[in-house]
Structure 1
Amino acid sequence: MTLNWDNCPAVSRSSDVMSGAVVFAGTRVPVSALFENIEGGATIDDFLSWFEGVTKEQVNEVLEFATSSLAPA
């Protein structure tokens, strides 16, 4: 399932940045990197230390958006 990130202000998408991948706003860090790292066992603090420029608020917003988007209606 693909999420529609248009209503999540913590992210952006532009064909000029990372070939149009959804990234954390103001960075070149793909949102997919967050989910891949968490799946691999990383903590949010690990992720934030590895990907400079991404804020904890952005991560929380992305996780909340994904959770609410995937929750059953």
Structure 2
Amino acid sequence: MKAAMVEPVIMANPEIMSGTPCFRGTRVPFKNLIDYLEGGHSLDEFLRQFPTVTREMAIQALNDSNHPLPNHPSS
């Protein structure tokens, strides 16, 4: 049985944001998520500010990048 292929959620296209890695289907750079989390903000705060990014997309991107999801309480 084959494992299902999961589409990458981070795309880099020279035609979009000058090739900055962004969430698929958006103009939201992945770095924005990292900056939010490293700045002490929660994933929920990021998702409120960038509603075109889904929770599933953010979590998959963090997992794919091996970046830890901080233990912030949801608010």
Question: Once the two structures are superposed, what CA deviation does each residue of 1:3-62 show, in whole Å capped at 9, x if it has no partner?
Answer: xxxx96111111111110000000000000000110111100000000120000111101
Q: Which residue of 2 aligns with 1:24?
A: 23
2:56 corresponds to 1:57:
yes
RMSD, aligned α-carbons:
1.8
2:37 corresponds to 1:34:
no
**Ranges in structure 1 where 5+ consecutive residues have no aligned partner:** 1-6, 69-73
Bigger CA drift: 59-68 or 7-16? 7-16
Q: Which has the larger radius of gyration?
A: 2
**Ranges in structure 2 where 5+ consecutive residues have no aligned partner:** 1-5, 68-75
2:24 maps to a residue whose letter is A
TM-score normalised by length of structure 1: 0.78
Matches of 2:21 and 2:31, distance apart in 1:
8
In the alignment of these two chains, the number of paired residues is: 62
1:39 maps to a residue whose letter is E
Runs of 4+ with deviation above 3 angstroms: none
Higher helix share: 1
- 1:62/1:8 Cα in 2 relative to 1: closer, same or farther (>3 Å)? farther
